[in-house]
Amino acid sequence: MPQPDALLMNLPARLRQLLGNEAVLDDPALLAPYLVDHRRLYQGASPAVVQPADTAGVATLLAFCNNEGIAVVPQGGNTSYCGGATPDESGRQLVLSLRRLNKIRSVDAAGFSMVAEAGCLLAQVQQTAADVQRLFPLSLGSEGSCQIGGNLATNAGGTAVLRYGMTRDLVLGLEVVLADGSVLSTLSPLRKDNTGYDLKGLFVGSEGTLGVITAACLKLFPAPQSVATAWISLPDPTAALTLLGRLRAASGDRTSSCELVPQVALDLVLQHVPGARDPGVARAPWYLLVELSSPADDDLDALLTTALSDALEAGLATDAVLAQSATQRAALWMLRESVPAAQSRAGGSLKHDISVPLSALPQFIEQGSVLCKELAPEGYLVAYGHVGDGNLHFNLNQRDGTDEADFLERELPLKRAVHDLVASLGGSFSAEHGVGRLKVGELERYAPPIELELMRRIKQAFDPLGILNPGKVLR
């Protein structure tokens, strides 16, 4: 590791003078969890973690860092799958934790909006909405630990995109601290405001490279009064898409989630996740977890039962079970949400977070499966995810008895082949997890030159000295 210079050695003390004792961590034991990413792909180093208590503290920190030329890596819940929130190995980048900006500033049930600080956990935002009979629909497996600021910075997707859109679609306004410490506040609940460029939109999905989000005005929706959930056995992904189309039409677009789970993923969950129970349907190569929801008191169980009997008759489904209680619903969702954990407990894995147009999904799965067999014979495919959005986590796990190093060596050629296939079908190499550090090369390879050039100009305009999350998104 490089020797720290004078600036870095004095840095924690100077930061304490600026922001107070509580805002600065430099004890190596306390720093450790902030320096490694969720997947343990990157181990970074840093002189300190700074955790201001409010927006003014973030502004003071950034103004100081911009003057001194010190890089800052914003960090929310640190659940990024692409190393976006981890400092590099130089030991020269500060981590800015938003943890202490965790207040709900206001809730307007009548206006269907809420202002939350960036460090609020997603689960806290959901609960605050539920407390006033409203819904904040963003829902992810990491919702107990990711922060709304991180969700905005990554434009997170999750399980309700089909009905409510990505995080971008759920934000009305933002408060952002810019690289030089100035504060841009568009924290207004206005639904209509066509006054010039959509500046807030630039920060959503910018992964901490254009500004630090300190608060957001979020859209709320009527809370669901009726919900119906089914776990369905299917012959193949084509049947899944046909069934989804029928359900959306039959339910008046009250289909809020549609998740694809292969048998192999269900087996991993049942084997590795304590408390996981078989859903009790006939075994099949694929399953769909489908949820319908409505803010009215509708009989969605009856609607879903009719749609599923039609699907069974048409050969689109081979069996299905409807959740009979909230507990059963939670048990079915637990099977789906536990796939990532089961995969990591089962050993080494190679991951791709891709999306293709819905109509191309069956072709992608077929051709992608062939690529996996040819290019990574030590692995087996575990392709699951938000099929209603054309988004699959096209992952491989290592077969028992194979050598881990041999398996992991397949990563680059396989990634190239899978992402080339995705590009040929008009898809994206990063559907919802962002670019972070992991996919900088992929963005350079697949983004049209004019898009890359515009992104570089935007970065230059917002962060001319390059202090914000250097090395992420753009090299």
Is 433 a residue that touches ligand FAD (CB under 6 A)?
Answer: yes
List binders of ligand FAD among 36-65 (CB under 6 A): 38
What lies within 8 Å, CB to CB, of 194 at 6+ separation is none
Residue 459 interacts with ligand FAD (CB under 6 A): yes or no? no
Q: Does 368 bind ligand FAD (CB under 6 A)?
A: no
The CB-of-266 to ligand FAD minimum distance in angstroms stands at: 17
Mark the segment that binds ligand FAD (CB under 6 A) among 237-245, 299-307, 360-368, 432-440.
432-440
Beta bridge partners of 230: 290, 322
- Residue from 12, 150, 173, 471 touching ligand FAD (CB under 6 A): that is 150
Total of residues contacting ligand FAD (CB under 6 A):
37
CB of 297 to ligand FAD, least distance (A): 29
Answer for which of 51, 93, 147, 233 binds ligand FAD (CB under 6 A) is 147
What sign does the CA torsion over 241, 246, 252, 255 have?
negative
Q: Is 347 in the site for ligand FAD (CB under 6 A)?
A: no
Give the nearest distance from C-beta 394 to ligand FAD in angstroms: 14
Q: According to the binding rule CB under 6 A, does residue 417 interact with ligand FAD?
A: no
Binding-site member from 31, 146, 356, 422 for ligand FAD (CB under 6 A): 146
- Nearer to ligand FAD by Cβ, of 281 and 341: the residue is 341
SS (H, E, C) 310-370: HHHHCCCCCEEEECCCHHHHHHHHHHHHCHHHHHHHCCCEECCEEECCHHHHHHHHHHHHH
Q: 214 to 233, contacts with ligand FAD by CB under 6 A?
A: none
Two structure tokens written together for 416: 């190239």
Q: Does 437 help bind ligand FAD (rule: CB under 6 A)?
A: no
x/- letters, 12..41, toward ligand FAD (CB under 6 A): --------------------------x---
For the chain, give the secondary structure using H, E and C. CCCCCHHHHHHHHHHHHHHCHHHEECCHHHHHHHCECCCCCCECCCCCEECCCCHHHHHHHHHHHHHHCCEEEEECCCCCCCCCCCCCCCCCEEEEECCCCCCEEEEECCCCEEEEECCCEHHHHHHHHHHCCEECCCCCCCCCCCEHHHHHHHCCCCCCHHHHCCHHHHEEEEEEECCCCCEEECCCCCCCCCCCCCHHHHHCCCCCCCCEEEEEEEECEECCCEEEEEEEEECCHHHHHHHHHHHHHHCCCCEEEEEEEEHHHHHHHHHHCCCCCCCCCCCCCEEEEEEEEECCCCCHHHHHHHHHHHHHHCCCCCEEEECCCHHHHHHHHHHHHCHHHHHHHCCCEECCEEECCHHHHHHHHHHHHHHHHHHCCCEEEEEEECHHHCEEEEEEEECCCCCHHHHHHCHHHHHHHHHHHHHHCCCECECCCCCCCCCHHHHHHHCCHHHHHHHHHHHHHHCCCCCECCCCCCC
Query: CB of 98: closest distance to ligand FAD in angstroms?
Result: 4
- The reply to whether 141 sits near ligand FAD by the rule CB under 6 A is yes
Please give the residues from 152 up to 181 whose contact with ligand FAD meets the rule CB under 6 A: 153-154, 156-158
Judged by CB under 6 A, does residue 84 bind ligand FAD? yes
Strands of the sheet with 93-97, listed across from one edge: 24-25, 49-50, 93-97, 71-75
186 binds ligand FAD (CB under 6 A): no
Residues 91-110 that bind ligand FAD (CB under 6 A): 98
| x/- letters, 304..343, toward ligand FAD (CB under 6 A) | ------------------------------------x---
Whole-angstrom distance, CA of residue 303 vs CA of residue 292: 9
Shortest spacing between CB 350 and ligand FAD, in angstroms: 17
Least distance from ligand FAD to the Cβ atom of residue 388, Å: 12
Least separation, in Å, of the C-beta of 298 and ligand FAD?
Answer: 27
The CB-of-256 to ligand FAD minimum distance in angstroms stands at: 14
Minimum separation from the CB atom of position 40 to ligand FAD (A) = 12
Binding to ligand FAD by residue 79, rule CB under 6 A?
yes
Pick from 118, 228, 258, 474: which binds ligand FAD (CB under 6 A)?
A: 118
Per CB under 6 A, the list member of 75, 93, 251, 343 interacting with ligand FAD is: 75
Binding status of residue 212 toward ligand FAD by CB under 6 A? yes
Give the interface segment with ligand FAD, choosing from 104-112, 140-148, 260-268, 365-373 (CB under 6 A): 140-148
Region binding ligand FAD by CB under 6 A among candidate stretches 4-12, 273-281, 428-436, 447-455: 428-436
The answer to whether the beta carbons of residues 147 and 122 sit under 8 Å apart is: yes
Interacting residue ranges for ligand FAD, rule: CB under 6 A: 38, 73-81, 84-85, 98, 118, 140-142, 146-147, 149-151, 153-154, 156-158, 207-208, 212-213, 340, 432-433, 436, 469, 472
